[in-house]
Amino acid sequence: MKKRALLLTLSFLLAFVFTGGYQVLAATAKENYEWYCTQCHGLKGTGDGPNARPSKYGIKQPDMSVTPRNHTSPKDMNKLSDEDIRLAIKDGGKAVSKSALMPPFGKTLTEKEIDELVKYLRKLCKCKGKE
């Protein structure tokens, strides 16, 4: 009897996974940003997270040699098109001839999550970007 209950639970779980039910649990762009980006780009997106500016947080480590983009600066973010941003997030800084200190997230985030992050960054800078 116990075995049958277990099998039943398992098949429900598998159906849940294969039908994409877990997508309900997908993270929002803000959650992804806070989880994956803020350690360098800062909680507010100003480019001074603890990994980039440890000295600011009282950590005795050298600051990052390249400053992570300030996502709240319309001046900086207007230099980039949505496609530039998408590529930087997906394939990393190197893909857009910038520092490899900006890591690639193409294997961590889905295309949809990346597209939503692009929109989220546009909200942070309150800017439309390069056409």
| Choices 9-17, 18-26, 31-39, 55-63; region in contact with ligand HEC by CB under 6 A | 31-39
Q: Which is nearer to ligand HEC, 11 or 102 (CB)?
A: 102
Q: Is 124 in the site for ligand HEC (CB under 6 A)?
A: no
- Shortest spacing between CB 98 and ligand HEC, in angstroms: 3
Task: Give the amino acid at 28.
Answer: T
Nearest C-alpha neighbor of 120 from the set 89, 75, 79 = 89
Taking residue 46's Cβ as centre, other Cβ atoms within 10 Å add up to 16
Q: How far is the CB of 17 from ligand HEC (least distance, A)?
A: 25
Distance between CA 72 and CA 100 in Å, rounded?
A: 21
CB neighbour class for 125 (10 Å; exposed up to 12, middle 13-18, buried from 19): buried
| Range in contact with ligand HEC (rule: CB under 6 A) among 9-17, 20-28, 38-46, 55-63 | 38-46
Contact 122, 129 (CB under 8 A): yes
Residues in touch with ligand HEC (CB under 6 A): 36-37, 39-41, 51, 64, 66, 68-69, 80, 84-85, 88-89, 93, 96, 98-99, 101-103, 105, 117
